[in-house]
Each structure stands twice: as structure tokens, then as C-alpha cells.
């Protein structure tokens, strides 16, 4: 069974703008722009019955479209950086959508997500990148000011068990209306 997660897709123009930050960081494994997304809820490797229940429950979500704004670049991992990201400015709309996904997945029998929701777009996975090199990179690049898009739907993605970063397949799409 593939790994499943819910997410907001990144429009092509925003992905193209984010992809201009590729390069210049040793130890970075850059994601392709078509695999950029904002993860809402990781479901993991689940059985077919649970996946069908999750897909059904996600179809019950009724939320209005909303604007998503990207902030600056950042990194996860502190002294041992593991990912280079573009921050997503938290809004009540994205926080509430993620919280609803969490409630629905728990209703489907999945354990609670242990990590605090931090909306972001992963640009690169980092291996053997020093915290100094990441800090220098971030200091030079700043971040994507003014990038935003309208979230018109969320999707249920699948990914294959690999080193991460895609390819991701849209298994189902759910309009925000």
C-alpha cells in the first residue's frame, strides 16, 4: 500500500518561483517543483479499508477557498538541519482545515499526529549540510516575499516508499467551496 497524505497543491507559477532557490547548498537533495505541496495530514501506510474510510470522510469536508501566503525560507532540524522549507503564513483557514483533517483521520481509526502542525513547502531534504552552511544559505537568499495563491481544493496524495520528495500521485481531489 502506498503512503498517503492530504495536502494543498502548489500552482505551477508559484512552484516555478520557488524552484529559483535551488542550488548553492551542499548536501541538499532538491525536490522537483511538481512535487511541492503543503502537507495537511500524514496518514502513512494504511490498509485498503482504512484508506477508503479516510477518502470518504475527507469528502465530507465543507470549507471555503482561501488564500495561502508564503513567508521566508527556513530550515527544520536546528543544529542538524534536515529540510530546507518555505514557510507558509499561518491563517485561521489553513489551521482549521488541518485540524478537521486530524479529527477525521482519528475518527477513521488512525493515531493522533504527534508533531505540531507547521505549514510549509519542503524545497530540499538535507543530508550532511552543516548548520553554518544552511544559515549562510538562508542569510543570502532571504525568501520568497509576496508569493501567494488561492487554495481551491485539497488532495489525497500517495507516495512510494523511497527516500522522499516524490513522485506523488493525486488519488482524490476535494474542492473547497
**Catalytic amino acids?**
37, 120
Q: 144 is written with which cell numbers? A: 520568497
Distances (CA, A) of 84 to 39, 103, 108: 15, 28, 32
Distances (CA, A) of 46 to 4, 20, 58, 65: 8, 35, 15, 29
Name 146's Cβ contacts closer than 8 Å, sequence gap at least 6: none
Q: Which long-range contacts (CB under 8 A, 24 or more apart) does 8-13 make?
A: 8/37, 8/38, 8/40, 8/68, 8/94, 8/151, 8/154, 8/155, 9/37, 9/153, 9/155, 9/170, 10/36, 10/37, 10/38, 10/121, 10/149, 11/149, 13/149
Greatest Cα-to-Cα distance within the chain, rounded to the nearest angstrom: 48
Amino acid at each position: 500500500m502506498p503512503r498517503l497524505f492530504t495536502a494543498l497543491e502548489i500552482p505551477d507559477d508559484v512552484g516555478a518561483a520557488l524552484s529559483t532557490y535551488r542550488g548553492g547548498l551542499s548536501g541538499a537533495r532538491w525536490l522537483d517543483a511538481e512535487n511541492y505541496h503543503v502537507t495537511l495530514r500524514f496518514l502513512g501506510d494504511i490498509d485498503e479499508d482504512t484508506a477508503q474510510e479516510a477518502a470518504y470522510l475527507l469528502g465530507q469536508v465543507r470549507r471555503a477557498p482561501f488564500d495561502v501566503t508564503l513567508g521566508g525560507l527556513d530550515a527544520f532540524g536546528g543544529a542538524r538541519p534536515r529540510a530546507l522549507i518555505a514557510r507558509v503564513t499561518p491563517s485561521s483557514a489553513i489551521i482549521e482545515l488541518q485540524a478537521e483533517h486530524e479529527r477525521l483521520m482519528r475518527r477513521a481509526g488512525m493515531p493522533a499526529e504527534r508533531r505540531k502542525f507547521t505549514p510549509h513547502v519542503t524545497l530540499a531534504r538535507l543530508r550532511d549540510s552543516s548548520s553554518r552552511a544552511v544559515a549562510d544559505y538562508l542569510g543570502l537568499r532571504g525568501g520568497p516575499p509576496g508569493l501567494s495563491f488561492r487554495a481551491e481544493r485539497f488532495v489525497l496524495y500517495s507516495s512510494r516508499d523511497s527516500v522522499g520528495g516524490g513522485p506523488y500521485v493525486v488519488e482524490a481531489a476535494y474542492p473547497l467551496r
